[in-house]
Structure 1
Amino acid sequence: MGRRGIDESDFHSRPSKRGSRPRTKQRPEHSDAVTGLVTGVDRGRYTLLVKDADAGAAGTSGEKIVTAMKARELTRTRVVVGDRVDVVGDVSGGEGSLARIVRIQERTSTLRRTADDTDPYERIVVANADQLVIVTALAQPEPRTGMIDRCVVAAYDAGMSVLLCLTKADLASPDALRELYEPLGVEVVVTRREASSDEADRANVAGQSAGGMVLAPESVEEVRGRLRGLVSVLVGHSGVGKSTLINALVPDAKRATGVVNDVTGRGRHTSTSAVALALPVSPSDGEPSDAFDGWVIDTPGVRSFGLAHVEVSHLLRAFDDLDDVAQECPRGCTHLADAPDCALDDWIKASPEEERPAREARLTSFRRLLSSRTGSDA
């Protein structure tokens, strides 16, 4: 029998070791995805709050906790606390269940920082927050205005409002810091501690700090009033009383608290990761015990807040009056005190005598923030 010719029918493809499915750039639409709020991140696992369709009304009782991981297409995308995400898979919230994050919804704000002023790598702190609460002790440890300035700059760059929370007013007066930051439009709230009693301990155990001191209840309620209806992120050095404040605001938070080192004057890091906590309404409001009005995001204590990502024009836009005047500045004007022909200086000179002190205070404060954008960390 003679040897026949070979044609197409003699070819048999061998499956690839990676599988025989052709690669495609088309992704599923995930039309069945549900929305979740990222409340915690821990080693590649994300804690989400998802509305429970079976529970009916929104609120604490109408939502469930779901654990999720990122889909492969989001491997290089950072998901942070505060993000609203679309999730598919097992969203039952049952023990051992694992959903999958397939999309990140558009962010309304993004708070960023860098390791220092030369580091090109931006670290996203939180997303979708309305307000940055800078927690600063008036003593033990001493306040560092350079760090406060930098946090204010980062907040304004992110389009967030700023609340300066001054703690330990039982040790020092808040007047000097009020005078320094209120001209910038920064709201200031003050808390103080008081000696605990048996009644106070029972009513405010979660807000107890070192040395048997507790936060004065009226101080806690004043802060709560500034947070209601908002998503607020708290930042501050270790040892300033941030975790103590959060425990008083959210009794179920149980955030670890620490003390200040007598030698270094610095606190020990007690919060190790960011976490979003529902802010309960005040007991005096007469609402159900599980009702809440706002979110509080606790973050680990920071020692530096780099601003390499902040552009001067973004900072200037946070000051409407100064931004309008600066439009008359020559091209390339730095707006600093030594800048030649800066229109901001002319604005001061031309101001009515009764308005001049307020304008000078505002411009001085703005230039201080501007200097912190490129200056050394305080």
Structure 2
Amino acid sequence: MVTRRGRDLDESDIRVRPNRRGSRPRTKDRPAHRDAVPARVVAVDRGRWRTVVDAGGDDEHEVTAMRARELGRSPVVPGDMVALAGDTSGREGTLARIVRIQDRTSFLRRSADDDDPTERPLVANADLVVVVTALADPEPRAGMVDRCLVASYVAGIDALLALTKADLRDPAAFLRDYAPLGVDHVVTHVAPDGTIVGLDALRERLTGRISVLVGHSGVGKSTLLNALVPGAGRATGAVNDVTGRGRHTSSSALALRLPDRSGWLIDTPGVRSFGLGHVDPDELLDAFEDLAPLAEECPRGCTHLADAPDCALDAAVAEGRAGTAGPSRLLSYRRLAEALRRNDPWDV
């Protein structure tokens, strides 16, 4: 008999190392989180999400949250409606968990460039994209407007053109190419006394909606936002004298409630590119509503590109048929279509 210090040993003296993975059986079932609290994501900052609990309620308050493990890599962006578990009091130093993302009504995305298929989610659940472009200083870039309109169409979101700095240039020439599309627009400029002419028209279109501002840096997005939401405090910047482009002033998307709780406005960082690498080339033509009906006259299998034989789009534009926006629109479509088809893995 083995002894220790003069006594016999029994089973209580034998240490068994516990299973490091735990003795509880593994299960694929996830907690239901039936008591989770609904909230709206308003900002994302370094792995933390700022949310508003009970959006629309009298006890509305902000809660900082982290992503729960069960969400995996699912993107969570401003505008998302989520469910929170844990400490949702919003007290300083507390942290809740985002355990569920509600079904989205829309999802606006872009890529860094047309040859980059990686999606970069911008906002969720928006029902209006406000494409902000300056008529001068910096010069308007129709290609950027076209891309934003295409992304809006693919996402199923209405679009509005907000033309700023109308005191520097008449908007008529710029709008001529977009009149056949029927895209709504407002024209604004800053008066000498600092007020924004045209702001009431813009505010009227935003009422009752979840809107997102997109546009190049320096076109006046932050100026409009600060006027629409007093106290927002978004930084404004000037245009670079050398490059003619705006300087980045906003580094992250931010959702803000309009005064009188009449809607939400999401400001996105100024971008220098708006790639459509995530868009299927077959969806692109439908976004050009002035050209799509004319393409029905094309021969079967027509690519509608510049080298396509007997493309009806060329004849329609050359004849100046009513409803076409002219050569510049066709050129814009083909430029995007060429890039998208080069990016299409099925187009060999």
TM-score range, shorter chain: 0.7 to 0.9
| Structure 1 equivalent of residue 158 of structure 2 | 161
Equivalent residues in 2 for 1:32-47, closer than 5 Å: 32-47=35-50
2:18 to 15, 18, 25: 15
2:223 to 244, 250, 262: 244
1:361 and 2:325 matched: yes
Q: 1:183–1:366: structure 2 CA closer, same or farther, 3 Å change rule?
A: farther
* Unpaired segments ≥5 residues, structure 2: 2-13, 341-348
Instruction: Give the C-alpha shift of residue 254 in structure 1.
Output: 0.9
Q: What letter matches 2:228 in structure 1?
A: L
Q: 1:77–1:219: structure 2 CA closer, same or farther, 3 Å change rule?
A: same
Aligned residues between the structures = 330
| Structure 2 equivalent of residue 234 of structure 1 | 213
1:125 to 108, 122, 138: 122
Q: 1:215–1:168: structure 2 CA closer, same or farther, 3 Å change rule?
A: farther
Q: What letter matches 1:128 in structure 2?
A: N
1:317 and 2:314 matched: no
Measure, in 1, the Cα distance between the counterparts of 2:195 and 2:270: 20
**1:58-90 alpha-carbon deviations (Å, 9 max, x no partner):** 35x442211111001224111111111111111
Q: What letter matches 1:316 in structure 2?
A: L
Measure, in 2, the Cα distance between the counterparts of 1:314 and 1:367: 17
Equivalent residues in 2 for 1:126-275, closer than 5 Å: 126-196=123-193, 214-216=194-196, 218-275=197-254
Instruction: Give the C-alpha shift of residue 339 in structure 1.
Output: 2.4
Q: Provide the TM-score with structure 2 as the length reference.
A: 0.85
Q: Provide the TM-score with structure 1 as the length reference.
A: 0.79
Instruction: Give the C-alpha shift of residue 148 in structure 1.
Output: 1.5
Equivalent residues in 2 for 1:338-353, closer than 5 Å: 338-342=307-311
**1:278-304 alpha-carbon deviations (Å, 9 max, x no partner):** 112xxxxxxxxxx22111110111011
Instruction: Give the C-alpha shift of residue 253 in structure 1.
Output: 0.6
Instruction: Give the C-alpha shift of residue 124 in structure 1.
Output: 0.5
Instruction: Give the C-alpha shift of residue 326 in structure 1.
Output: 4.3
Measure, in 2, the Cα distance between the counterparts of 1:139 and 1:168: 7
Equivalent residues of 2:150, 2:287 under 8 A apart: no
Identity score, percent: 61
Equivalent residues in 2 for 1:14-93, closer than 5 Å: 14-51=17-54, 58-59=56-57, 61-93=58-90
Measure, in 1, the Cα distance between the counterparts of 2:294 and 2:106: 26
Q: 1:73–1:328: structure 2 CA closer, same or farther, 3 Å change rule?
A: farther
Q: 1:39–1:309: structure 2 CA closer, same or farther, 3 Å change rule?
A: same
| Structure 1 equivalent of residue 100 of structure 2 | 103
Q: Secondary structure at the match of 1:358?
A: coil
Measure, in 1, the Cα distance between the counterparts of 2:242 and 2:172: 27
Q: 1:187–1:24: structure 2 CA closer, same or farther, 3 Å change rule?
A: same
Q: 1:33–1:321: structure 2 CA closer, same or farther, 3 Å change rule?
A: same
| Structure 2 equivalent of residue 371 of structure 1 | 335
Equivalent residues of 2:83, 2:98 under 8 A apart: yes
Q: 1:84–1:237: structure 2 CA closer, same or farther, 3 Å change rule?
A: same
Equivalent residues of 1:139, 1:172 under 8 A apart: yes
Instruction: Give the C-alpha shift of residue 364 in structure 1.
Output: 6.2
Measure, in 1, the Cα distance between the counterparts of 2:103 and 2:95: 23
Equivalent residues of 2:111, 2:275 under 8 A apart: yes
Q: 1:259–1:91: structure 2 CA closer, same or farther, 3 Å change rule?
A: same
**1:168-199 alpha-carbon deviations (Å, 9 max, x no partner):** 11111111111012222221211011112xxx
Q: What letter matches 2:151 in structure 1?
A: A
Equivalent residues of 1:184, 1:365 under 8 A apart: no
Measure, in 2, the Cα distance between the counterparts of 1:321 and 1:144: 20
Q: What letter matches 1:27 in structure 2?
A: R
Equivalent residues of 1:117, 1:374 under 8 A apart: no
Instruction: Give the C-alpha shift of residue 264 in structure 1.
Output: 2.1
Q: State which drifts further: 326-335 or 172-181.
A: 326-335
